[in-house]
Amino acid sequence: MTRAAAVTTIPVRAASGAYEVHVGRGLLERLDSLLPPLPGARVAAIVRPRALSGLAERAAHALARRGLAVHAIDVPAGEPAKRLEVVESIYQRLAAIPAHRADPVVGVGGGATTDVAGFAAATWLRGVPLVSVPTTLLGMVDAAIGGKTGVDLQAGKNLVGAFHQPSAVIADLEALATLPAAELRSGMAEVIKAGLIADPALAASCLADGPAAVAGDLDRLAQLVEAAIRIKAEVVGADEREAGRRAILNYGHTLGHALERLAGYQGLRHGEAVALGMVFAATVSERLGLAAPGLVDGHVRVLRAAGLPVGGVELDPDAVLEAMGTDKKHGGAGGGLRLVLLRAEGEAELVPAPERSLLVEAIRSLAAEPRVGRDGAER
C-alpha cells in the first residue's frame, strides 16, 4: 500500500452508537468509500466556511459518487460560526433543499465548523446523520470526535449544545499542510493535553516532535494525531456523556474558556488559551499538594516546544474567576466550581476548586514568564 493510500482507522465505541475515525492522506477524494451505509439518503448538505470551498468541493465530488445531490451551506470562519443565528441560517437552508431525516449534514472545516454543523445535525428534524471532516489539527484530535456539539452565548462558551455522535470522521492530513504555524500550534495544545491527562509517552513525544510538528512535518503529525485520537476514543467510549471520566478531557479548559470569553473570542486562539489553562491547573495541583513539585516545569517544557504560551499575561483575577463561574463543570446548586487537576502526568481527576486565595495566586502567577530549562532546572 502506498503512503497516499494508507489510512488508519480508529473505532469509537460510544454507548449511543459506534463509528470510525479515518486518518490518512488523500482521504477527501475517497470520502465515498470511507463512509458507512446511509440508507435512504438522497442529498448531502456540506456546511463549510467559504474559504474552504476548494476542500469542500473535493468532498462534494466524492459524495456525488454515492449518488447524493450535494448542497453547500456557508458559515462564518472560526468561532463566529458558533452563534444561534448561524444555526438558524443552516436550518433555513436545510428546509429549502429540502433535507430529510436520512440525509447527512457534512461539516468541513475546523472545530467551530464541525461544532455548529454537529449541533444543526443534532436538532434538525430531531437528528440527522452527521459526517465530520475536520481540516485543522484541533478539529482532528478533539472537536470532531466524541459527539459534543454546541454554540456560544455571550454568557459563556458552548453553553447551548447536544450530544450527537457522527456517523464517521474523516481526517485528511493533507489539509494540515495548508495551515499556518499558528493554527498548528493551537491544535498541538489538545495533543499535549491528551498526553498529560492519559499518556506520558505521548507527552514525551510532543516534547521531542513538537517543533517539527508545528513546522508542518506530516509524518510527525500523523503519529501524534493518531495517538491523541486513540486517547479520546477510549475516554469517550467509557463515558459518552461526561458522567465521570470524560471530564478529564477538559484539562486546562476551565481557565482557557474563561480567557476566550474575556477576549471576546477574538485574538486568542483556543489552544493558546488552553495552554495557559494547563499551566494554571498544574500550578494549582502543585500548590494544593496534589502533585509533587516539577509538574509545572514539565508543562512549561512541552508547551514551549510547540511554541505555545506559558505565561507573560497580566490577568484580573476577579474577572477571570467570574468568567470561570459559567463553566459547565460547575457543580451547581451549591456544589461550586470544579477543576480537572493532575496528581502526575497521566493521572487526572475532577476535584472541587480550592479556596479563592489559592486560585487568585495561581492566576497571578501567569504574569511571569517561567524560566525553565529543557532539563527542568530553574534558570
Give per-residue pLDDT as tens, 266-312.
Answer: 889 999 999 999 999 999 999 999 999 999 999 999 999 999 999 99
User: Is the C-alpha dihedral spanning 30, 31, 37, 40 positive or negative?
Assistant: negative
Q: Which pLDDT score, from 0 to 100, does residue 6 have? A: 87
So where are the chain's domains? Answer: 7-178, 184-365
The grid coordinates of residue 339 equal: 477543576
- pTM of the prediction? 0.92
* Maximum separation of any 2 CA atoms in the chain, in Å: 64
CATH architecture of 7-178: 3-Layer(aba) Sandwich (3.40)
Q: Is 93 helix (H, G, I), strand (E, B) or coil?
A: helix
User: Is the C-alpha dihedral spanning 190, 131, 110, 174 positive or negative?
Assistant: positive
The percentage of the chain sitting over the pLDDT mark of 90, rounded to a whole number, equals 89
Q: Highest mean pLDDT range out of 190-199, 323-332, 334-343?
A: 190-199
Q: From 1.20.1090.10, 3.40.50.2300, 1.10.3260.10, 3.40.50.620, which CATH number describes the 184-365 domain? A: 1.20.1090.10
Alpha-carbon distance values, 276 to 183, 186, 266, 299, 378 (Å): 16, 12, 16, 10, 19
With 50 as the cut, is the pLDDT of residue 353 above it?
Answer: yes
CB 367 within 8 A of CB 276: no
Q: How far apart are CA 242 and CA 249, in angstroms?
A: 9
Q: Which pLDDT score, from 0 to 100, does residue 378 have? A: 45
Task: With cut-offs at 50, 70 and 90, classify the pLDDT of residue 371.
Answer: confident
Active site residues: 126, 148, 190, 232, 242, 246, 250, 253, 257, 270
Q: How far apart are CA 193 and CA 9, in angstroms?
A: 22
